[in-house]
A and B are shown apart, each in its own frame.
Chain A
Amino acid sequence: MAGSAFSSFDISASGMTAERLRMNVIAHNIANINTTRTEEGGPYKRREVIFEEVLADAQRELDGLIGDVGAGVRVVDVVRDTVTEGAKRYVPGHPDADEDGMVMMPNVDPVMEMLDMINASRGYEANVMAISAAKQMILKALDI
Chain B
Amino acid sequence: MDKMFRPEALDLYEKMLDFAARRHKVIANNIANINTPGFQRSDLEFADELTRALRDRGVAGVKDLRLRLTKPNTTAVRNDGNNVNVDVEMASLAENAILYQIYAQLLARRFNQIRNILKEA
A66 touches B17 (CB 8 A): no
A67 touches B25 (CB 8 A): no
- The CA-CA distance from A73 to B39 in the complex, in Å, is 10
- The CA-CA distance from A126 to B21 in the complex, in Å, is 18
Residue of A nearest to B20 (CB): A137
A130 touches B104 (CB 8 A): no
A7 touches B34 (CB 8 A): no
- The CA-CA distance from A107 to B92 in the complex, in Å, is 40
**Contact residues of A: prevailing secondary structure:** helix
Residues of A with C-beta under 8 A to B30 = 70
B36 touches A53 (CB 8 A): yes
Q: Mark B44-61, 1 if CB is under 8 A from A, else 0.
A: 100000000000000000
Question: Most B CB atoms within 10 A — which of A22, A120, A140?
Answer: A140
Residue of B nearest to A134 (CB): B24
- The CA-CA distance from A52 to B65 in the complex, in Å, is 31
A83 lies within 8 A of chain B by Cβ: no
A129 touches B20 (CB 8 A): no
Q: Mark A34-65, 1 if CB is under 8 A from B, else 0.
A: 00000000000000000111000000000111
B114 lies within 8 A of chain A by Cβ: no
Residues of A with C-beta under 8 A to B29 = 11, 53, 69-72
Q: Mark B1-39, 1 if CB is under 8 A from A, else 0.
A: 000000000000000010011101111111111111101
8 Å CB contacts to B: which residues of A105-132?
119-120, 122-123, 126-127, 129-130
- The CA-CA distance from A52 to B29 in the complex, in Å, is 12
Q: Mark B98-121, 1 if CB is under 8 A from A, else 0.
A: 001100110110010000000000
7 contacts between A and B (CB under 8 A): A7-B25, A8-B21, A70-B29, A70-B30, A70-B32, A73-B36, A137-B101
- State the A residues within 8 Å of B (CB): 5, 7-8, 11-12, 14-15, 18-19, 22, 51-53, 63-73, 119-120, 122-123, 126-127, 129-130, 133-134, 136-137, 140-141, 143-144
